[in-house]
Amino acid sequence: MCRNDATFVYRQNHKFRFEDYEGGRYARVSGAVATGAVTITVSGAGSSSAYIFTIGDIVKNARTGENFLVATVPTATTITVASTGRGFGSTVDTAMADGDSLFIIGNVNEEGASARQVNTTRAAKETNYTQIFRTTMSVTGTEDNVDLYGGKDLPYQRAKAATQHAKDIEKAFWFGQKKSTTGANVRPLRSTGGILEFIETGNGYIQNQGGALTAPDFNTFLREGFTYGNSKKILFAGGLVVQAINEFARGQIQTKVGESTYGVKVSEYMTAFGSISIVHQNMFVEDYAGYAFLLDLDCFKYRYLNNRDTKLRTNIQAPDVDGTTDEYLTECGLQRMQAPRHALLKGVQA
């Protein structure tokens, strides 16, 4: 689960937290496996798939229905089964085929036995960086003192720059990639990682549609996207995705007049998997119009360095400049947690 009390520790501009997952319970058979005592090569649970198994685990082959007992775990990709551990139940010993699904359904222990072998996961450090965002505006001394139609120009420039500054941060939170290097002046230069990178590299579900989005396709996406996390999530979608949903989900979408979530208008879409609030994200245009992100927002937080949240810095021009220069400056990043609780839909076409 995504812990709301997870601690974020700041070290200079770099911030990190520790994140842990439950051990896996699902793998696949690699290659054909005979009856009797065997060594089974497994895959589908990371590079060390066998390490999700422990001696004494009862494992079910979903295709054959056979339950068997794990005898040993000799390598990172193999487990062994003794002849007495095959057909451990009412279903007899049956040959296995390549790709068969294996589910750990518990473990069995003798009376008076010693403790089982310890098989546990370790918390891993999850990191991201804070990024320095700057948006500058300026007017000459003459311009600042001329009566313009509509009022002074500097307040207008400040308002326009504030919008641009906020958009720059939001775009980085969607599409940024985590990077730390040095700049031209041999000083630290960092960018914050965004949501797209997080799902693509963190084992989130990805559905590459590569064509028109149909109701069955969307159901598949929701089924996978609701596997973990809350039963209510937000779908931030480009125009092509929203258009497709509007076509096949008529009568299922509820728009609440005058109501908004997170400051934007939303449409509620009720499914058996959970409920989603659909938000048309107008930043997703051109090649990203066919993208949609199903997010569990409990897992994202806006983070900023101490005393470096958005500020308007005024009169930062050199002393001899005949004019005024201001800038908005923010040093912030995105805290990202539990990638499997989120899903990405991409490649939707008209």
Same domain as 326, residue 238? yes
Same domain as 235, residue 342? yes
Q: Is residue 120 part of a domain?
A: no
Rounded mean pLDDT, 221-248: 93
CATH number at residue 36: 2.40.33
What distance in Å separates the CA atoms of residue 163 and residue 304, rounded to the nearest whole number? 18
What's the confidence (pLDDT) of residue 265? 67
What's the confidence (pLDDT) of residue 169? 97
Same domain as 178, residue 52? no
Q: Which of 72, 107, 142 is the last residue of a domain?
A: 107
Q: Which of 107, 139, 171 is the last residue of a domain?
A: 107
What's the confidence (pLDDT) of residue 266? 73
Same domain as 30, residue 95? yes
Sheet containing 67-69: order of strands: 67-69, 57-61, 101-107, 26-29, 38-43, 78-81, 72-75
Name the pTM for this structure. Answer: 0.77
Same domain as 256, residue 293? yes
Q: What is the pLDDT of residues 153-186, one digit of tens each?
A: 899 999 999 999 999 999 999 999 999 999 999 9
Q: DSSP secondary structure string, 176-221?
A: ---EEEE-TTSSEEEE---HHHHHHHTT-EEEEEEE---HHHHHHH
pLDDT band at 218 (very low <50, low <70, confident <90, very high): very high
Same domain as 231, residue 175? yes
What's the confidence (pLDDT) of residue 150? 72
What's the confidence (pLDDT) of residue 122? 63
15: pLDDT strictly greater than 60: no
Same domain as 80, residue 42? yes
Which has the closest alpha carbon to 85: 39, 117, 25, 50? Answer: 39
What distance in Å separates the CA atoms of residue 278 and residue 309, rounded to the nearest whole number? 29
Domain that holds residue 139: 131-350
Q: What is the pLDDT of residues 64-117, one digit of tens each?
A: 999 999 999 999 999 999 999 999 999 999 999 999 999 999 999 999 888 888
More confident residue, 12 or 125: 125
120: pLDDT strictly greater than 90: no
What's the confidence (pLDDT) of residue 126? 76
What's the confidence (pLDDT) of residue 298? 92
Q: Is residue 174 part of a domain?
A: yes
Q: Is residue 20 part of a domain?
A: no
Same domain as 139, residue 87? no
What backbone torsions phi and psi does residue 157 show, to the nearest 5 degrees?
-65, -35
What's the confidence (pLDDT) of residue 9? 38
Percent of the chain with pLDDT over 70: 87
Q: What is the pLDDT of residues 203-212, one digit of tens each?
A: 889 999 999 9
Which has the closest alpha carbon to 344: 298, 274, 286, 295? Answer: 295
138: pLDDT strictly greater than 50: yes
In 3-state terms the chain splits into helix, strand, coil percentages (rounded to 5) of: 20, 40, 40
Rounded mean pLDDT, 262-269: 69
Q: How many domains is the chain partitioned into structurally?
A: 2
Which has the closest alpha carbon to 87: 68, 100, 104? Answer: 68
Rounded mean pLDDT, 219-237: 94
Same domain as 189, residue 144? yes
Q: Is residue 298 part of a domain?
A: yes
> Across all residues in the chain, what is the average pLDDT?
88
Same domain as 50, residue 198? no
Q: Is residue 21 part of a domain?
A: no
Q: Is residue 61 part of a domain?
A: yes
Q: Which of 92, 107, 122 is the last residue of a domain?
A: 107
25: pLDDT strictly greater than 80: yes
pLDDT band at 44 (very low <50, low <70, confident <90, very high): confident
Q: Is residue 11 part of a domain?
A: no
124: pLDDT strictly greater than 80: no
Same domain as 162, residue 33? no
Same domain as 310, residue 227? yes
Element (H, E) at 251: none
Q: Is residue 288 part of a domain?
A: yes
Which has the closest alpha carbon to 280: 265, 268, 269? Answer: 265
